[in-house]
Chain A
Amino acid sequence: MTSSKNQQEMETLAEIREINASFPYNKYVKEWKEGGKKVIGWVCNYTPEELIYAAGLLPVRVMGGFEEFPLDKANAYFYPTSCSTMRSCFQIALDHRYDFLDGFVMGSPCEHARRFYDIWTYWMKTPFYYPVGLLFIYGDESVRHYHDGLLDFKSKLEEFYGVKITDDALREAIRLYNRTRELLRELDDLRKSDHPPISGAEAMEIMNACLATPKEQFNKILEKLLEEAKSTRRNWEDKEIRLMFSGSMWNNYNFLKFIEDQGCLIVVNEICTGLRYWSHLVEVGSAPLEALAHRYITRFPCNHFYPWEQRMDRMVETAKAYHVDGVVNNLVRYCVALGFMRPLIKERFAKDGIPCYDLEQMYGARGSGQVKTRIQAFLEMIGFSKEGQEALFTQGG
């Protein structure tokens, strides 16, 4: 739960928390299953959810825990330097909490996620598996290749589940998912203001629920949330510093709250379970698969995409659009893509005078004394810098 003095939390958040409390088998997923329908777990934002949905299946993101917990069972199946996010996901699977899944789809450029797919397919009894292939290079060839992959994936879904995915069903799915993205964007736009209606931690809670809930129901919750947000004016008087939270996949909102409790407000979650999920709409045109291919390859990219400038430029644009004072770049152990890109990201932000702070931790960590000290030092540094700028301004410099 997020709380801070002088804050007025939105009531709709209670619904979000109810969904998250029963993650991953929340009441909406349960209803879906009770209706005799199938659920597909997916890994990574490059999985085309619309295609799965158009087959009459419910796509839900396979995520790790929203809080810190021991990974003792999962550790037995992974190497010590395997990605801690994937270990967390598998821990939940080993606890039989993903047993409701009827299929497992991985659409990731990350080798850890690919190995997770392998481990899942070897040890789990999920009936349907599919690895979505993709090139992570900006350009026509990647769009064309992804489109070929969509055709293949479509035929595999149709064959396995005995369904026909029509263009009309695809367009309908695209409209539904576009609506979710629009609502999330509208909500996030409010975070650009001086008085954002939600904190970074709350935004993460909303996204966690979003990724695990059928969009028909979730869009209704989002509409309600948005209405309430528009009429909410939160007072963040003890949080003058505005931060962007960036980096590897992350779901532990308590950690964001932990950062915010040090005296700042996270105003944009530039991660795959944040802004990168909803950025860019799919064009609803005559060729839905082509439109999907175009959207998935050309939207706000993750750390794997080349050229890196595509990502770094958008990171800086985002930081400016949300008026941030600094960036926390959170590397989840053992994320190699971010590891190799990190020096250049830091340099890129420095060019625009935006301080960027590198953190490394195990996925799901809730915060430690050491991290607290590091964040406090970073905030102090930003604070000094801001004071210096104000002094210059008041002196007419």
Chain B
Amino acid sequence: MILEPMGSHMENFDGLIKTLEGMIEHRKKKPTVPSSLAFYESQLEYYKEIRYAHDQGKLFVLHSAFAPAEIFFAMGLVPAHASFSLGAMAQVLKKQPECLEAAHRYGLPWETCGAHRLVVGAALLGFTPHVDLCVSYHFGCTSAATSVVNVAKLYDLPIFYLQLPYGYREYDIRSYVRQLELLIAWLEKQTGRKMDWDRLKEAVKIEKQIYEYEREIEELRGCVPSPVKHRSFMEQYQTDMMMPGTPTGLHYYKTVRDEVKDFAERGIHPLGPNHKERYRVISCFMPPNWCRSLMDWMEEEHGISSVAEPHMNEWSAWLADRIDPDKPLESLAVKYQSHLIVRQLCSPLLINQLPDTLKHIEKRKADGAIYYASVTCNTSPHLLTCLKNALEKEKVPLLILDNDVLDPAYASESEMRERVDAFVEIMDVYKEKRATEKG
């Protein structure tokens, strides 16, 4: 086993920070939309917090996706989302092959999700600063939870295992609240610090404001042309996961809301008044993280806007009454249970995923849907035949874009572009069919 001490290759983490600084400089020289700059600046701040956590006497928590980071922030801990820290580093520095190779030599078979294998590989190679605590979270994705367990076992780190029960029932929420209480007790014991409940309430208050911005953004997304850049949903998704309940997250969401409102009021697309929106698509699940340029290309080359992402960002309308700063744990429990991607993974298709997808067709005037099927993902691609069938009944074509979310070796950008080219023709045929039927 190749097990390097954590932090033995900090040049990688520094490389990530340097790359982000370069991207910010580039954005400043060639501005696009304000939210894009806000996104990269918030990312830089996030990674710098991790990099210098120990210098500032702070403890560093590695956690799975959708672990309630508000709790870590409220306790003065520095959280690091495993995929968006270790995985992102491998991706930004193009070190996926080394990390995957390390994970393979350790014994993880191809059956395990590539994105999370990358986390274990990057940890084996000592890419991250020394982790103090691990919080593993199972929200319907075994890979997200067990990759962090592997990191904890490899380095003999204290770990807490949190789990969102499968289903969508009130007793599941009650159980999750009790688990959050156990998590806090564990963190208090491990760190010797007490939970700052006022700070947690403040975080939930911020979450409520973010929720309100998010609802406003969603309301505006029915506008034609789309007031939202195609790739913007990925940035929102990432911010929501990495810095929930923080002033930085709030600033980012406010910037997005202002920007979207401005474009909607002026009736123009973020790419400018001359941009022609030709197709409006529903994006299902997560596009390859290494290839956001594909979304830019779709937008610029074919005029494809993403008008809904039913498995990524949208917050449930009913959350308005349930996020209450005076009940922070209950609020976090319902927030995380109802998060789109979580509820798609952790509840039955007929209860959430299908209605969540179909409801957008008419409201957002969708011409088609793109299903990003990450080949080693054990959760997202398995229902695509059901969705394809349901969309077909609504006369909406579906493109299944096979890819690996973090590894470009499986499907290249040019291969994916070719498939999108062909799909555009299919959407034209469907458009004609729908127009003929309408008479």
Question: How far is A76 from B388 in the complex, measured between Cα atoms in Å?
Answer: 12
- Contact indicator B379/A115 (Cβ below 8 Å): yes
B residues 374-425 touching A (CB-CB < 8 Å): 375-379, 381-386, 389
Task: With both chains docked as a complex, state the minimum distance between the C-beta of A254 and any C-beta of chain B, in angstroms.
Answer: 23
- Contact indicator A331/B109 (Cβ below 8 Å): yes
- Once A111-B142, A340-B146, A344-B150 are accepted as A-B contacts, the answer to whether A82 and B382 lie under 8 Å apart by CB is yes
A147 nearest in chain B by CB position: B171
Question: At the interface, yes or no: A128 with Cβ under 8 Å from chain B?
Answer: no
Interface of B is mostly: helix
Question: Chain B contacts of A137 at CB under 8 A?
Answer: 161, 163
Chain A, residues 142-170, CB within 8 Å of chain B (1/0): the string is: 00110011001000000000000000000
Question: Chain A contacts of B178 at CB under 8 A?
Answer: 141, 144
Chain B, residues 166-201, CB within 8 Å of chain A (1/0): the string is: 110101101100110010000000000000000000
Question: How far is A333 from B109 in the complex, measured between Cα atoms in Å?
Answer: 10
Question: At the interface, yes or no: A133 with Cβ under 8 Å from chain B?
Answer: yes
Question: At the interface, yes or no: A393 with Cβ under 8 Å from chain B?
Answer: no
Question: At the interface, yes or no: B147 with Cβ under 8 Å from chain A?
Answer: yes
- Contact indicator B146/A119 (Cβ below 8 Å): no
Question: At the interface, yes or no: A346 with Cβ under 8 Å from chain B?
Answer: yes
- Contact indicator B382/A336 (Cβ below 8 Å): no
Question: At the interface, yes or no: A117 with Cβ under 8 Å from chain B?
Answer: yes
- Once A79-B373, A111-B378, A334-B111 are accepted as A-B contacts, the answer to whether A340 and B383 lie under 8 Å apart by CB is no
- Contact indicator A81/B381 (Cβ below 8 Å): yes
Chain A, residues 333-359, CB within 8 Å of chain B (1/0): the string is: 111110111111010000000000010
- Contact indicator B149/A308 (Cβ below 8 Å): yes
Question: At the interface, yes or no: B153 with Cβ under 8 Å from chain A?
Answer: yes
Interface residues of B (CB under 8 A from A): 106-109, 111-113, 116, 136, 138, 140-143, 145-147, 149-150, 153, 161, 163, 165-167, 169, 171-172, 174-175, 178-179, 182, 345, 348-350, 353-354, 373, 375-379, 381-386, 389
Question: How far is A112 from B141 in the complex, measured between Cα atoms in Å?
Answer: 10
Question: At the interface, yes or no: A114 with Cβ under 8 Å from chain B?
Answer: yes
Question: How far is A333 from B136 in the complex, measured between Cα atoms in Å?
Answer: 24
Question: Chain A contacts of B384 at CB under 8 A?
Answer: 79
- Contact indicator A131/B166 (Cβ below 8 Å): yes
- Contact indicator B350/A121 (Cβ below 8 Å): yes
What 7 pairs between A and B have smallest CB-CB spacing? A343-B107, A118-B349, A340-B146, A133-B167, A115-B382, A148-B171, A339-B112
- Contact indicator A81/B375 (Cβ below 8 Å): yes
- Contact indicator B141/A134 (Cβ below 8 Å): no
- Contact indicator A136/B163 (Cβ below 8 Å): yes
Task: With both chains docked as a complex, state the minimum distance between the C-beta of B104 and any C-beta of chain A, in angstroms.
Answer: 11
- Contact indicator A141/B175 (Cβ below 8 Å): yes
Question: How far is A172 from B22 in the complex, measured between Cα atoms in Å?
Answer: 71
Question: Chain A contacts of B145 at CB under 8 A?
Answer: 306
A110, A114, A144, A342: the one within 8 Å of B108 (CB): A342
Question: Chain A contacts of B147 at CB under 8 A?
Answer: 340
Question: Chain A contacts of B350 at CB under 8 A?
Answer: 118, 121-122
Question: At the interface, yes or no: A283 with Cβ under 8 Å from chain B?
Answer: no
- Once A123-B386, A334-B111 are accepted as A-B contacts, the answer to whether A340 and B143 lie under 8 Å apart by CB is yes
- Once A340-B108, A342-B109 are accepted as A-B contacts, the answer to whether A135 and B175 lie under 8 Å apart by CB is yes
- Contact indicator B175/A148 (Cβ below 8 Å): yes
B150, B174, B377: the one within 8 Å of A340 (CB): B150
Interface residues of A (CB under 8 A from B): 76-82, 109-112, 114-115, 117-119, 121-123, 131, 133-137, 141, 144-145, 148-149, 152, 304, 306-308, 331, 333-337, 339-344, 346, 358, 360
B111, B150, B166: the one within 8 Å of A134 (CB): B166
Question: Chain B contacts of A335 at CB under 8 A?
Answer: 111
Question: Chain A contacts of B345 at CB under 8 A?
Answer: 111
Question: How far is A358 from B111 in the complex, measured between Cα atoms in Å?
Answer: 13
A131, A304, A360: the one within 8 Å of B348 (CB): A131
- Contact indicator A81/B161 (Cβ below 8 Å): no
* Most A CB within 10 A of own CB, among B108, B141, B354: B108
- Contact indicator A340/B376 (Cβ below 8 Å): no
Question: Chain B contacts of A331 at CB under 8 A?
Answer: 109, 111
Question: Chain B contacts of A115 at CB under 8 A?
Answer: 379, 382-383
Task: With both chains docked as a complex, state the minimum distance between the C-beta of B355 and any C-beta of chain A, in angstroms.
Answer: 13
- Once A121-B348, A122-B386, A346-B107 are accepted as A-B contacts, the answer to whether A337 and B172 lie under 8 Å apart by CB is no
- Contact indicator A77/B385 (Cβ below 8 Å): yes
30 A-B pairs in the complex with CB atoms less than 8 angstroms apart = A78-B382, A81-B378, A81-B381, A111-B141, A112-B378, A114-B166, A115-B379, A115-B383, A118-B348, A119-B383, A119-B385, A122-B386, A133-B169, A135-B163, A135-B165, A137-B161, A141-B175, A145-B175, A308-B149, A331-B109, A336-B142, A336-B143, A337-B142, A339-B108, A339-B112, A340-B108, A340-B116, A340-B146, A341-B146, A342-B108
Question: Chain B contacts of A111 at CB under 8 A?
Answer: 140-142, 345, 378-379
- Contact indicator B175/A144 (Cβ below 8 Å): yes
Question: Chain B contacts of A77 at CB under 8 A?
Answer: 385
- Contact indicator A339/B382 (Cβ below 8 Å): no
Task: With both chains docked as a complex, state the minimum distance between the C-beta of A104 and any C-beta of chain B, in angstroms.
Answer: 12
Question: Chain B contacts of A346 at CB under 8 A?
Answer: 107
Question: Chain A contacts of B163 at CB under 8 A?
Answer: 135-137, 306
* Most B CB within 10 A of own CB, among A79, A82, A344: A79
Task: With both chains docked as a complex, state the minimum distance between the C-beta of A376 and any C-beta of chain B, in angstroms.
Answer: 22
- Contact indicator A149/B171 (Cβ below 8 Å): yes
Question: How far is A366 from B107 in the complex, measured between Cα atoms in Å?
Answer: 25
* Most A CB within 10 A of own CB, among B116, B136, B348, B378: B378
A309 nearest in chain B by CB position: B153
* Most A CB within 10 A of own CB, among B107, B136, B143: B107
Question: How far is A54 from B373 in the complex, measured between Cα atoms in Å?
Answer: 42
- Contact indicator B161/A340 (Cβ below 8 Å): no
A345 nearest in chain B by CB position: B107
Beyond known contacts A133-B166, A141-B178, A344-B150: 4 more, CB 8 A cutoff: A78-B382, A82-B382, A136-B163, A339-B112
A117 nearest in chain B by CB position: B348
A149 nearest in chain B by CB position: B171
Task: With both chains docked as a complex, state the minimum distance between the C-beta of A339 and any C-beta of chain B, in angstroms.
Answer: 4
- Contact indicator A122/B349 (Cβ below 8 Å): yes
- Contact indicator B149/A340 (Cβ below 8 Å): yes
- Contact indicator A340/B182 (Cβ below 8 Å): no
Task: With both chains docked as a complex, state the minimum distance between the C-beta of B123 and any C-beta of chain A, in angstroms.
Answer: 13
B105 nearest in chain A by CB position: A343
Question: How far is A358 from B373 in the complex, measured between Cα atoms in Å?
Answer: 28
B172 nearest in chain A by CB position: A133
Task: With both chains docked as a complex, state the minimum distance between the C-beta of B197 and any C-beta of chain A, in angstroms.
Answer: 22
Question: How far is A339 from B114 in the complex, measured between Cα atoms in Å?
Answer: 12
Question: Chain A contacts of B385 at CB under 8 A?
Answer: 76-78, 119
B141, B373, B386: the one within 8 Å of A118 (CB): B386
Question: How far is A270 from B389 in the complex, measured between Cα atoms in Å?
Answer: 39
